[in-house]
Structures are given as structure tokens and as C-alpha cells.
Structure 1
Amino acid sequence: MMTNRIVTIAAFCVYLIFMLCIGMYFVGKNKTTTEYFLGGRKLGSWVTSMSAQASDMSGWLLMGLPGAAYLSGISAGWIGIGLAIGTYLNWLLVAKPLRQYTKVAGDAITLPEYFKNRFHDESGWLSVISAVFILVFFLFYTASGFVSCAKLFSSVFGIPYLVSLAVGAVVVISYTFAGGFFAVCWTDFFQGLMMFFCVVAVPLIAVFRMGGPAEFISSVEAFNPNFLSMFVDGATNTPYTAMGIVSLVAWGLGYFGQPHILVRFMGISSPAAIKKSRRIATVWVVISLTAAVLIGVSGRMVLGDGLLDGNGQQEIIYITMVSKFFPLFIAGIFLSAILAAIMSTADSQLLVTASALTKDFYHNKIRPQATEKELMWVSRGCVMGVAVIAVLIATNQNSTVLGLVSYAWGGFGSAFGPLVLCSLFWKRTNKQGAYAGILVGGIVDLVWAQLSGGIFDLYEIVPGFVCGLIAIFVVSLLTAAPSKEITDEFDSYRSCEE
């Protein structure tokens, strides 16, 4: 048994050393905060698309979504449908305009700074409020990654949960602290490739071990025909309501407000590279999400009901299948894909949170005269501080990955999504409307998430997004129109688009 663990640990170490080497390679290459937080806007199509999708999916691609499919069948795929649509529309509608406008609006390098510059908010409070929402929601999002990591190590190696949590956090913090945006994006590029290969390989092997697609489908039908229905929850054998389907598909709305994804659009080398990135990202996400659902369904056929303990054990379905199918060292490489998923998201979230706290709070309100060197060290301190708080949240061993991600995803989609769209496409949006959109959308989401029963079972991103959008329109129309300087800037950005 000890020999088995040593072999698997060796595979993990090979992977982790490779990631740390990438981080160390970029040490000293970041001379300014623009380079540390945005890579000097020098990312190519492949790195941009793969890092965006890898940072998007996180540990829930290999744990949360397969776990949901293990319980409910292919109806868990409604989330995937919403995310695939959201991914495509985000690349199609937001990527190029945001890349252009952040250059026009004072060369902004963070989302809060873009809001501040876009609406000429001299007080700076718009970016501070945005930074606060980023801090709150990313604490939970980053915690979800650390929960995934702890479950991985404790399941594979029998290491206590809290020790596993600390190990995972140290690795992610190390290369994020050292290498900044370039390190994060290049590690995410390799991690995205690895995630894609592993998430596709596992269900394919499972299906063919069962005799092929026809035998697989027959097995699922014999087990529970509702597992093959998109309109019936296979866990309870009850039909989905329209509200239930809307709640799942509405995950796609979240993309318009995710800072760790939007920052990739801001960092691409040129707007012309976005079309290629969009195609790569769309193919990646459609295939990966489909495969993740198949992991859960095929895993239920292969492993039976052994993970139905009510404490989130279904989320180790990928881990269990890999351990069952592969020789030890190969299994270790496949299990490293979970680390790839976790690290590719947690590092991005730590960096975006640090950038918001450093640029949009510390530099904006506390030390406007701070030097670049000082800001670099403050940002690294923020990486450490946010990571420690996220670890404390993740110490709750009953947390589910999907639950934590759902909470943070809805919050960002509601607080920032409506304003991102309005700022890019509606010239009449003004500063007062921007404040209203962030506050109303974010607060409605937070309050709705605490309620349950009846209409409150609707995923909070739907009321949050809609209320935020209405607030922007109503308040903008009831208050003074933007100044000519702002509208001229908008026209200038739109002419670049054309």
C-alpha cells in the first residue's frame, strides 16, 4: 500500500515541479504592475483561450459536475448547456470590445479600474465598491478550489483533510506570488491541455470497458431510464420544472461578470487574435463539459451507489474511476488533472483579487503616491492574505465544490455582468447607473441566496442580473446624461470596433 502511494506521489511531484518551474521562470520578468497583473497585453490566441477556459472551469469540471451527473444523470448537463452558450457569447460579444475599451479608457488593467475610467468617476469609489465585491466572492470561489484539492489529497493518499488543504494552498500561492499574470496564464495553458485530455479519456475508457456505446446506453436504461432524460431528475425521478431548467441554464449569464475570465480578454496581444481564441475556447468547453457529464453517468454504472453518503462523496467519482482504471503512475498523472483544474482557477482568482485590492483600493484610496515597487510587494502580500482567508473558509469539510462555485459565480454575474454589457454597448449609461447596477445586482444576489422555497428556489443569478440591468437603465435615464467627453470616448472606442 505504501509503495502504491509513493508511485502516485511521484507522478504528482513531477507535475507540481513542472508548474513551479514555470512560475520561477517568470520571476523578475514583471517590472510593473501592468506586467504583473496583465502581462503587458502580450498573450497569443492559444494561451489566451486555453488559460481563460482552464481558469473558468476549476475543480468543479472534474469533481462538481461529474458528481451532479452521478446523482442525477444527463439532466445535470443543463448547466453545461448554459455554460457553453455563455462561453461563446462572452467571446463573441465582450472579448473584442472590452480589449478595445480598456485601452481607450486610460489603459485600465483591472475591471474596477475600467469601470472607474469608463465613467470618469473622480471619487474612485466605483472601483473601491467593485474591489469589495471581488474580494467577497473570490474568497468563496478560491475556497472551492482549496476544497477540491483537500478532497483530492485526502482521498488518494489518506492525508488528513486539513493537511491536504495546507499543501494545496502552498503550491498555488508559490507560483502566483512569484510569477504574476504570465506565470498564471502559461501554467493555465498547460493545465487546460491536460484537463481536456483527461476529462475526455476517462469516460471513453469507461464506456468501452462496458462493451461500447450501445451496451453503455442499455446499462443506463436498465438501471434507471430517467438517467438518460434531460427533463427528469434521475436522483428523485421527478420532472424538472421550468424554473429548475432556467436556474441551470442561467449559469451562462455569469460569464459576462467573471473578472478572472474578462482579464484574459484585456491581456490578449491584439483584437485580431480574438476570433481564433473564440473558436478554440468554444470547442474546448463543449467537448469538456459533455465528457464531464459522461464521467458521472458512466461512473454510476461502473461503481454503483457506493458514493451516496450525503456528504458530498459523489464529487470524488473521477478520482475513484481513475484509481480503478489505470496503473499507479498513469493514475497519478490523471489525478494531477484535478490539481490542474484547481490551480488554474485558484491562481487566477488570487491574482485578480490582489490586483483589485492593490490598484483599486490601496493605490486609489490609501497611497496614491506609491511606487511601482511598493505596489508589487503590496500585491504579493494581498495574494498571501486572500489565500489564508480562503483556506479558513475551506476548513469546513462538508462544503461542496459546486455549492461554493455556484454562490460566487452568481454573485459576479449579478454585480458586474449587466454593467459590463451596458458599458460596452449603451452610450447613455452614466456613473449613477453604474453604481446602481453593481449595488442592486450584487445585493439582490446575496439576499436571494439566503432565501428558499417557491420563487426563491430560482438560482439567484437570474433576479440579481435582471434587477442590476433594470437599475442601470432606470437610474441612468433619471439622472444627467454622460458628459460630452465620455460620449466622445465611447464613439472613439466604437470606431475602433468598426
Structure 2
Amino acid sequence: MSVSNPTLITFVIYIAAMVLIGFMAYRSTNNLSDYILGGRSLGSVVTALSAGASDMSGWLLMGLPGAIYMSGLSESWIAIGLIIGAYLNWLFVAGRLRVQTEHNGDALTLPDYFSSRFEDKSGLLRIISAVVILVFFTIYCASGIVAGARLFESTFGMSYETALWAGAAATIAYTFVGGFLAVSWTDTVQATLMIFALLLTPIIVLLATGGIDTTFLAIEAQDPSNFDMLKNTTFIGIISLMGWGLGYFGQPHILARFMAADSVKSIANARRISMTWMILCLGGTVAVGFFGIAYFSANPAVAMPVSENHERVFIELAKILFNPWVAGILLSAILAAVMSTLSCQLLVCSSALTEDFYKTFLRKTASQVELVWVGRAMVLLVALIAIAMAANPENRVLGLVSYAWAGFGAAFGPVVLISVIWKDMTRNGALAGILVGAITVIVWKHFELLGLYEIIPGFIFASLAIYFVSKMGAPTAGMLQRFAAAEKDFRLNQ
């Protein structure tokens, strides 16, 4: 690895810029609200792009293009499901959650919101939801650190152990120093980098393969079924792939962006920006994998790395087709995708530990300065645990990531969605929804029932549990009053 390596220099400049943004955000972080939610000051552009970037991890530039490259357009059902789910989340949840959290004790975290919304004096809702967040997100963080390490390992020939720390250090640094503002501002830069990479790369691949007609003929010659959206699929398979969209309603790191918006009025514009960004990115991702089929079938001499690992299709196309300096920028987009998601997950874990355990149960009188520093310490703690888990990339615990999305989607999704649209939901209904959703996902995954993605039964059963258990009781007058005030605020300002 030469120090003059353009890709290395590009990575170093990019990482330095992200850390610099962290120090800029440090100057605007004065209390726990600033550290956890940026003082609810995000405008529509930052809200939109940070929500998108925090959602799309390295999967966007590695996993999905690889799947399309291997199997053709039939793998794109998941992208369709994600677009529908994200749009509905923006439409029904974003604005209402922004006002509901403000009217319910100015809640900073999801457990905090659940506790205030349902007047849970026992603390049970807060504890259970915070534990769910910590367990799933620590595993998520470990997977992000592994993805970053693999990128450094394959790009620079580092040992896995060195790459592990190199990939994680910058993300930990700016999250530790700048908190939510640093994460949101860097997410905006990272989202811009990702869309640049995913729009430019398929265009250059098309030019390299002789244009659209020639490319499509080459793909068809390789295997005509690459164009078949129903290739090797079943009805349950398609429903399962599209079911990924249900997960959006329950992802704490995405919901935090809605809670941090400067006002409800920003949400509509943020929705338009975010959905445009998402559709273009997913379209570019599918195009990279699909056009890659034509390129590597026409250039078998350079196809070996992709044949060995199809998830390298974007990496190899960037290296082969671009000037090394431009390739460095494009490969930084993968790092951006990894870092943007990892930083959000670290911060959500820190928020749960600081706001929902330390402040609530240990130090109710803690000063704002103390809470901010405890939050920073929790970022380090969760990061070190995640690095320890990631030290062995083959560790079985990382397999849990495959249904962590489903776990959040089923445990929190119905609770969040129904809590902002149905005034008669009760504390016991919320508790039942979280438990039934989480348990259903775990049991369904273990027995692999019907071949159906576990988020779908989890979401349905949790929703039914919320409705029937809520009907057995009644919300208090205070709950109804706050709900009505928040809904009125939403309708006046949307």
C-alpha cells in the first residue's frame, strides 16, 4: 500500500472532513437535547438526507448490486418494498411523531416517548423498549464495523485487525464529539456522496459497454431471464421482499430524524427530498448490478474478483472504469454508507443508556453538562462492545442482523404508527404490541414458518395485540388531552 495511493489519500481527506464537521457540531452542543436530537433544529434538507443516509448502509452499494448481478431484476422487489414503506412512514408518522414527542414531555428518545405518551409510572415500557434498542443496535453496530473493516481490508490490503480499528475510529470520533448534529451534518454530506456515486457509475458502465441497446443485448445473451421480475420467485417470496418496507415504522435511528425536525412545516418538503434521493439511489444501485452483467460478460479477463464475491461489483467497476482519484471518491461512498448508519446506531444506543437509564433511574438531578459527557462515554462503551463482537467476523451473533430490522419493525413499528393515529391506545396495548411483535419475529425466524419473512406476521400480530388489549382498558383524560392537542398542532402546521 503506497502512501501516494490516490484512493488512500481520498479516504484520508474524506475522514478528516467528517471529523472536522464533528468539531464544528461540538460548538453547538450545550445540553442533552442538543447531543441527542440536535435541539430539534434540523431543516428539511438535513432531515431528509440524514434520514436517507442513516437508513442505507453498505448494503446499498454492496449487497443489492451483488444480488442484481447474480440473479437479475427479480431481486429488485426489495427496493420497491422499501420505497413504498419509506413513503408511508414519511406520510403517516413523520409529522405526527414530531408533534407527539413535543407534547409528551418533549421526549428525546422512543422509550421516553412511550413512557410519557402512555403515562407509564412503572417504567416498564421504558425499560423493555430501551433493552430492545440496546440489544439489536449493538449487534447492528458490530455488523457496520465488520463492513467498514472489510472495505479497508480489500481496498488497502490491511490485516483485518488493523482495518477494524481504522474503519471504526473516525465514526466514533465525530459521533463522540459532536453528537446528533455531527451525525446529521455528516449524513447530509454522505448522502450527497452516495447519490453522486450511484448516478455516475451506471452511466459510465453504459458508455463502456456500447450504450443501452448493446448493453441490454449482452445481458439477454448472458441469460434472458435476467429481465424477468418473476424469475425464481413465489408469491410468498415477493411479499416477503416487499415486507421489508414495514420495518421503517419502527427503526429508532430513522424516527429520531423526524423528532429532530425544526417544525412540522419542514416535513412535507423533507419527504419530497428524501423520496427523490431514495428512488434515484435505489435505481442507480439496481442499474450498477444489472449493467455490470453486460460489462463483465464482455470483459471476462477482469471478472475474477466479482465471480469470487458478487458483492464487489460496484467496487470493481469503480476501480476499472475511473481515474484513481475519482475511484477513490466513489469508494468513499461505500465508507459513507457504512459510517452514516453506524454513527446513528451508536447515538441511539447512547441516548437509551443516558436518557432512559442513567437520568431516569440513577441521577435524576444530573446537570446538562454531566448528561452530555455521560452520553459521550456511552458512545465509547457501545462502540468498544461492538468492536469486540466484530473482532471475529464469523461470530454467530452477527447472523442476528438478518432479522434485527424485522425485530425493530415488528416490536416498535405498530406501536409508533398506532400511537400517533389512534387516541384510544393504552399503556397495556403498547406493552402487548412490543412483546408480541418481538416474540413473533424470534419464534417465526426460528421455525422458518411458510418461508414468509418474519416481519409480516410480527407486524400483524403486534397490531392486533395493541387493538384488543387497548379495548380492554381506556386511556386517561390526560392522554386524550395531549393527543388531541398534538393532533390539532399537526393539522394546523402541516
The one-letter code sitting in structure 1 at the alignment partner of 2:284 is A
Q: Distance in 1 between matches of 2:135 and 2:314?
A: 30
Match of 2:40 in 1: 41
Question: 1:133 matched to which residue of 2?
Answer: 132
Aligned positions of 1:380-459 closer than 5 A: 380-398=376-394, 405-452=401-448, 455=450, 457-459=451-453
Deviation string 1:233-292 (CA, Å, 9 cap, x unpaired) is xxxxx3x11110011000100000011111111111111111111100111111111111
Report SS of the residue matched to 2:471. helix
Matching residue of 2:190 = 191
Matches of residues 74-223 of structure 1 in structure 2 within 5 Å? 74-223=73-222
Do the aligned residues in 1 keep the contact of 2:139 with 2:398 (CA within 8 Å)? no
Q: Retained in 1: the 8 A contact 2:172–2:343?
A: yes
Distance in 2 separating the partners of 1:364 and 1:119: 16
Q: Distance in 1 between matches of 2:329 and 2:32?
A: 35
Is 2:265 the partner of 1:267?
A: no
User: Any conservation in 2 of the 1:68–1:314 contact (CA below 8 Å)?
Assistant: yes
Aligned mate of 1:347, from 322, 343, 364: 343
The total of aligned residue pairs comes to 486
Report the 3-state secondary structure (helix = DSSP H, G, I; strand = E; otherwise coil) of the residue aligned with 1:429. coil
- Aligned alpha-carbon RMSD (Å): 1.9
| Preserved contact between residue 208 and residue 295 of structure 2 (Cα < 8 Å) | no
Give, in whole Å, the separation in 2 of the partners of 1:91 and 1:433: 24
* In structure 2, distance between residues paired with 1:323 and 1:495: 54
When residues 127 and 381 of structure 1 are mapped into structure 2, their CA distance, relative to the original with a 3 A threshold, is same
What residue identity is the alignment partner of 1:226? S
Partner of 2:474: 481
- Contact 1:65–1:402 under 8 Å retained in 2: no
Is residue 497 of structure 1 aligned with residue 490 of structure 2? yes
Tell me how far 1:74 sits from its aligned partner: 1.3
Whether the 8 Å contact between 1:140 and 1:404 is mirrored in structure 2 is: yes
The amino acid of 2:257's aligned partner reads: R
Which 4+ runs in 1 deviate beyond 3 A?
2-5, 304-310, 395-406
How far did 1:5 drift?
A: 6.4
Q: Which moved more, 1:52-61 or 1:361-370?
A: 361-370
1:250-329 alignment, distance < 5 Å: 250-304=243-297, 306-307=304-305, 313-329=309-325
Show CA shifts across 1:110-160 (max 9, x none): 111011100011122211111111111112222222122112111111111
Structure 2 residue identity aligned to 1:419:
V
Structure 2-normalised TM-score?
0.95
SS at structure 1 position matched to 2:56: helix
1:495 positional shift: 1.4
Gaps of at least 5 residues in structure 1 are 233-237
Deviation at 1:446, TM superposition (A): 2.2
Task: Confirm or deny: 8 A CA contact 2:306 2:312 kept in the other structure.
Answer: no
For each residue in 1:428-482, what CA deviation from the matched residue of structure 2 results, as whole angstroms up to 9, or x when unmatched? 1100011111111012112322333x51x2111111111111111121112x201
Q: Measure how far apart 1:3 and its partner are.
A: 4.2
The aligned counterpart of 1:235 is none
**SS of residue paired to 2:249:** helix
Q: Name the SS for the 1:121 alignment partner.
A: coil
Which whole-Å CA distance do the structure 1 matches of 2:93 and 2:187 have between them?
Answer: 21
Deviations 1:393-436 (A, max 9, x none): 33343589996654221111011000001101111110001111
The gaps in structure 2 that reach 5 residues or longer are: 298-302
User: Relative to 1, partners in 2 of residues 1:398 and 1:220: Cα closer, same or farther, differing over 3 Å?
Assistant: farther
In structure 1, C-alpha distance between the alignment counterparts of 2:398 and 2:48, rounded to whole Å: 23
C-alpha distance in 2 between matches for 1:135 and 1:340: 23
For 2:356, the equivalent position in structure 1 comes to 360
- Is the 2:142–2:398 contact (alpha carbons within 8 Å) kept by the matching residues of 1? no
What is the percentage of aligned positions where both structures have the same residue?
A: 48
| Whole-angstrom CA distance in 1 between matches of 2:475 and 2:125 | 16
Q: Does the 8 Å CA contact 1:67/1:296 hold for their aligned counterparts?
A: yes
Name the TM-score, length of structure 1 as normaliser: 0.94
Using the alignment, how far apart are the partners of 1:116 and 1:62 within structure 2?
Answer: 38
Contact 2:413 2:459 in 1 (8 A): yes
- What corresponds to 1:226 in structure 2? 225
- With over 3 angstroms needed to count, the CA separation of the structure-2 counterparts of 1:9 and 1:199, relative to structure 1, is same
